[in-house]
């Protein structure tokens, strides 16, 4: 998986680079509009991670030239929270999804996975994790070949964990993933705990290993093996 | 009190005082002149009589007594005021009299008294005073009328300036534009005001830029902190040390709170700076349904029952989509945050109004102050207390009226947002009224 990361803030770019590499992507970076433009013209990417505010141009123009070149790359735009118009314009121009700064790295992983899944396999993809099989287009989960019935939130939670194998997911990141903006950090995270408890119970009933571990005071982690 | 009324009052007081002094002075002056005149006339007659007596041209005393009061016994000499009966008019009339000794030839000294009526003098005085009073009255009424007329004419530029100041709104980032009136004082006033407003606009602008820049510059370090801390949490060494991970997690949580606070504050300042000009028709009914669906897990977690009552017809409100989202977000968050476990939330949306009620512990304090920034439900609350302030600002921006009310039991809090603008154009301050409910 090859990703182009367009972000002008060096420090942020470095962190994102590290996180994406850790997640197993091949990442190239561009610090400004000109660099990004050049790389888009020269190489093929599976996904472009695009900050809309660049010192020498707007990410929307990059998006336009990307689409004009008929690129197959997925585009995930990153915007400031209040630049809502940019977000809408970006989606209108054919961006696949957007993330609002600041975001959780695990959320970025989940969004990237979803984009690549949709683009590369047209949705026909199976996610296999140890004894677990997920068919995203059918929203079905099987354990040892047996279907597992999950609620909407439990399913979302499982997919989120599967998008970040081996990563610690903070309770804040999970809460935001499940409820969007509705979560205020001041609110209790009880409901994550409840959903996770139910998910674990249902999986264990079907005989799955307990590979979701809890990090007390921090969050949860899907263990690779 | 009006400036005109005040000046007129002083003018009247001064005029009255001047009149009193003037009248007294005039009276005394005229009176003295008249008496002096009468005395001179009496003295002239005395001289005439004395001269005639010396020349022996006087008739005998007996004859003279018919026309002049003459006494053979000594009388007090000199000038005296006296009252004599005027037989024709039948009243006492003031007279001035002069008594002197006349040496007559052969008949010895006699005491002659010459008299002259002062009635003419009094009449004159009366005329003088009447004229004075008349002039004064004319002067006063003339003065008042002139002032009234002048105040209409001369003060017009002042009133114009006043009206312009009342209309003035710093948020429009325009310095005050005032004409230069012909009157120097007003021209100077307008000039000074224009200068002041230019400085205000410049200061405000620089403050606004500072806030915007500060907000922008904080955003990136916050994003970096958040990302780095999240990466730090991934380190295997943390998993081995059960004490270290929660520390980093706390740090991470605090960073998230800081970044939320930052977002809320920059949203508030952007609303204040009117940076949300673009309005679109927003389907508030759909948006509300989406938002409530998003909040459902939170409702569940806190065991809240909720009732959602949305009118069937599409409800379209013209506003910035981001602000519409933020409005509902903050209202719902408020209803969850200040609720009790197992409580209720009821949400109703009609084309006219959005009403969100929630159960919650009774709160003390002035309801109008709930909309203030950093107003916390309790000091221990982790939330910065900006939610209702944002609600109020958004409502104010579109002229929606937002009111808070508390049911009698003290445990049902209602926020009522009137969706129709109060006036056609966006107004600044929303109304904050405590309305009694059932």
Sketch the domain layout of chain A as residue ranges.
2-121, 127-222
| A180 near B CB under 8 A | yes
Tell which of B247, B270, B293 closes a domain. Answer: B270
Q: What tokens were used for A102? A: 């600041």
Residue B215, min C-alpha distance to chain A (Å): 11
B39 in the same domain as B147: yes
Give the pLDDT mean for A98-105.
Answer: 87
Residue B112 β-bridge partners: B70, B100
How far apart CA B373 and CA B385 sit, in angstroms, is: 6
Q: Are A207 and A143 in contact (CB under 8 A)?
A: yes
B148 in the same domain as B10: yes
Spatial strand order of the sheet with A212-215 comes to A168-170, A219-222, A212-215
Sorted by sequence, the CB contacts under 8 Å of residue A220 that are 6+ apart come out as A161, A168, A169, A171, A174, A196, A212, A213, A214
Q: Is residue B338 part of a domain?
A: yes
Residue B434: predicted pLDDT: 44
Residue B199: predicted pLDDT: 92
B288 in the same domain as B261: no
B293 in the same domain as B239: no
Q: Which of B221, B249, B327 to mutate to test the interface with A (most CBs of A within 10 A)?
A: B249
pLDDT of A82 strictly over 70: no
Return the number of other C-beta atoms located less than 10 Å from residue B424's C-beta.
Answer: 7
What sign has the CA pseudo-torsion B321, B323, B328, B333? positive
DSSP-derived pairing of the beta strands A140-143 and A146-148: antiparallel
Burial of B106 (C-beta count, 10 Å sphere; 0-12/13-18/19+): exposed
| A101 near B CB under 8 A | yes
B387 in the same domain as B282: yes
Residue A36: predicted pLDDT: 93
Contact map slice: B 248-277 vs A, CB within 8 A: 248-250, 252-253, 256-257, 259-260, 263, 266-267, 270
Residue B425: predicted pLDDT: 42
pLDDT band at A26 (very low <50, low <70, confident <90, very high): very high
How far apart CA A6 and CA A50 sit, in angstroms, is: 5
B192 in the same domain as B145: no
Please determine whether the domains at A2-121 and A127-222 fall in the same fold group of CATH: no
B148 in the same domain as B11: yes
Average pLDDT, chain A: 86
* Region label for B433, one of left (φ > 0), alpha (ψ between -120 and 50) or beta (otherwise): beta
CA B75 to chain centre: 78
Residue B184, min C-alpha distance to chain A (Å): 49
- Which chain A positions have a beta carbon within 8 Å of B224's beta carbon? 9, 11-12, 15
Which of A15, A22, A184 lies nearest to residue B227, judging by beta carbons?
Answer: A15
pLDDT band at A81 (very low <50, low <70, confident <90, very high): low
- ipTM of the modeled complex: 0.85
Residue B195, min C-alpha distance to chain A (Å): 35
Return the residue of A nearest to B238 by Cα: A215
B302 in the same domain as B250: no
Residue B33: predicted pLDDT: 86
Cβ–Cβ gap B301/A80 under 8 Å? no
pLDDT of A108 strictly over 90: yes
Contact map slice: B 352-391 vs A, CB within 8 A: 381-383
How far apart CA B244 and CA A109 sit, in angstroms, is: 25
**Which of B78, B168, B62, B162 is closest to B114 using CA atoms?**
B78
Q: Are B111 and B137 in contact (CB under 8 A)?
A: no
B216 in the same domain as B144: no
Residue B166: what are its φ and ψ, rounded to 5°? Answer: -65, -40
Q: Is residue B165 part of a domain?
A: no
Cβ–Cβ gap A22/B246 under 8 Å? no
Residue B211: predicted pLDDT: 77
Give yes or no for a cis peptide into A102 (omega within 30° of 0): yes
Residues in chain B: 438
Q: Whole domain around residue B296: which residue ranges?
A: 278-418
How far apart CA A132 and CA A130 sit, in angstroms, is: 6
B300 in the same domain as B340: yes
What is A127-222's CATH number? 1.10.10.10
pLDDT band at A38 (very low <50, low <70, confident <90, very high): very high
Give the pLDDT mean for A67-77.
Answer: 88
Residue with tokens 């009226």: B401
**DSSP characters over B171-202:** GG---------SSHHHHHHHHHHHHHHHHHHH
What sign has the CA pseudo-torsion A162, B260, A82, B347? positive
What is A2-121's CATH number? 3.40.50.2300
Cβ–Cβ gap B333/A153 under 8 Å? no
**Which of B338, B331, B388 is closest to B363 using CA atoms?**
B338
Return the residue of A nearest to B334 by Cα: A184
pLDDT band at A107 (very low <50, low <70, confident <90, very high): very high
CATH code, B296: 3.30.565.10
Residue A30: predicted pLDDT: 94
Q: What tokens were used for B44? A: 């002239």
CA B184 vs CA A78, A224, B154, B190: distances in Å: 59, 86, 11, 10
Residue A17: predicted pLDDT: 93
Collect the ranges in chain B with pLDDT lower than 50. 423-438
Which of B223, B234, B267 lies nearest to residue A168, judging by beta carbons?
Answer: B234
Q: Are A156 and A178 in contact (CB under 8 A)?
A: yes
Cβ–Cβ gap A185/B337 under 8 Å? no
Q: Is residue B63 part of a domain?
A: yes
How far apart CA A179 and CA A170 sit, in angstroms, is: 14
Which of A102, A179, A183 lies nearest to residue B222, judging by beta carbons?
Answer: A102
* Total number of domains constituting chain B: 3
Residue A124, min C-alpha distance to chain B (Å): 28
3-state secondary structure of B46: helix
B138 in the same domain as B15: yes
Q: Are A185 and A123 in contact (CB under 8 A)?
A: no
Q: What tokens were used for B21? A: 């002094």
Which of A82, A85, A194 lies nearest to residue B270, judging by beta carbons?
Answer: A82
Q: Which of A51, A160, A165, A185 to mutate to test the interface with B (most CBs of B within 10 A)?
A: A185
**Which of B125, B191, B129, B190 is closest to B159 using CA atoms?**
B190
B11 in the same domain as B110: yes
């Amino acid at each position: 998986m090859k990703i182009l990361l367009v972000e002008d803030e060096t420090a942020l770019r470095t962190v994102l680079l590290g996180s994406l590499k850790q997640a197993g992507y091949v990442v190239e970076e561009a610090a400004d509009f000109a660099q990004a433009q050049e790389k888009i013209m020269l190489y093929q990417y599976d996904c472009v991670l695009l900050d809309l505010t660049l010192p020498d141009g707007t990410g929307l123009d990059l998006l336009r030239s990307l689409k004009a070149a008929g690129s197959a790359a997925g585009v995930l735009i990153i915007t400031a929270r209040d630049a809502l118009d940019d977000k809408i314009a970006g989606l209108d121009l054919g961006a696949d999804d957007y993330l609002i700064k600041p975001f959780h790295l695990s959320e970025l992983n989940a969004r990237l996975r979803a984009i690549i899944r949709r683009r590369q396999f047209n949705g026909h993809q199976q996610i296999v994790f140890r004894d677990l099989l997920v068919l995203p287009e059918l929203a079905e989960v099987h354990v040892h070949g047996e279907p597992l019935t999950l609620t909407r939130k439990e399913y979302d939670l499982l997919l989120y964990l599967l998008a970040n194998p081996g990563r610690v997911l903070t309770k804040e990141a999970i809460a935001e993933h499940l409820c969007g903006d509705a979560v205020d950090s001041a609110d209790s995270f009880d409901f994550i705990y409840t959903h996770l408890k139910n998910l674990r119970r249902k999986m264990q009933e079907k005989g799955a290993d307990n590979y979701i571990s809890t990090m007390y005071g921090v969050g949860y982690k899907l263990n690779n093996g | 009190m009006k400036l005109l009324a005040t000046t007129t009052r002083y003018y009247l007081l001064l005029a009255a005082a001047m009149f009193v002094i003037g009248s007294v002075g005039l009276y005394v002056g005229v009176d003295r002149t008249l008496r002096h005149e009468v005395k001179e006339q009496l003295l002239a007659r005395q001289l005439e009589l004395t001269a005639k007596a010396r020349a022996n041209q006087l008739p005998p005393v007996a004859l003279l007594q018919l026309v002049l009061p003459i006494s053979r016994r000594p009388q007090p000499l000199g000038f005296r005021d006296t009252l004599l009966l005027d037989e024709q008019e039948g009243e006492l009339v003031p007279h001035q009299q002069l008594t002197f000794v006349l040496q007559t030839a052969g008949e010895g000294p006699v005491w002659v008294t010459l008299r002259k009526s002062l009635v003419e003098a009094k009449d004159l005085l009366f005329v003088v005073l009447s004229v004075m009073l008349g002039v004064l009255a004319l002067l006063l009424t003339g003065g008042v009328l002139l002032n009234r007329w002048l105040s209409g004419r001369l003060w017009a530029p002042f009133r114009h300036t006043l009206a312009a100041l009342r209309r003035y709104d710093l948020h429009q980032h325009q310095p005050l534009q005032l004409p230069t009136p012909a009157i120097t004082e007003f021209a100077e006033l307008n000039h000074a005001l224009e200068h002041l407003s230019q400085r205000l606009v410049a200061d405000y602008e620089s403050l606004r830029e500072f806030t915007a820049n500060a907000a922008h510059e904080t955003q990136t370090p916050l994003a970096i902190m958040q990302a780095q801390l999240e990466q730090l949490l991934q380190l295997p060494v943390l998993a081995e040390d059960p004490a270290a991970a929660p520390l980093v997690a706390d740090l991470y949580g605090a960073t998230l709170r800081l970044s939320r606070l930052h977002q809320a504050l920059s949203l508030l300042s952007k609303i204040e700076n009117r940076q949300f000009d673009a309005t679109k028709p927003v389907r508030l009914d759909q948006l509300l349904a989406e938002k409530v669906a998003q909040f459902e897990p939170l409702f569940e977690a806190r065991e809240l029952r909720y009732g959602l009552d949305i009118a069937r017809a599409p409800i379209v409100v013209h506003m910035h989509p981001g602000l519409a989202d933020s409005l509902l977000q903050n209202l719902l968050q408020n209803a969850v945050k200040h609720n009790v476990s197992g409580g209720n939330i009821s949400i109703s949306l009609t084309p006219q109004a959005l009403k969100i009620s929630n159960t919650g512990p009774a709160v003390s304090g002035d309801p109008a102050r709930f909309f203030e920034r950093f107003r916390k439900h309790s000091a221990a609350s982790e939330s910065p207390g900006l939610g209702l302030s944002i609600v109020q600002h958004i409502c104010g921006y579109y002229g929606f009226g937002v009111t808070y009310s508390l049911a009698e039991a003290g445990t049902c809090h209602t926020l009522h947002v009137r969706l129709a603008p109060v006036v056609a154009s966006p107004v600044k301050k929303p109304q904050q009224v405590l309305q009694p409910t059932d």
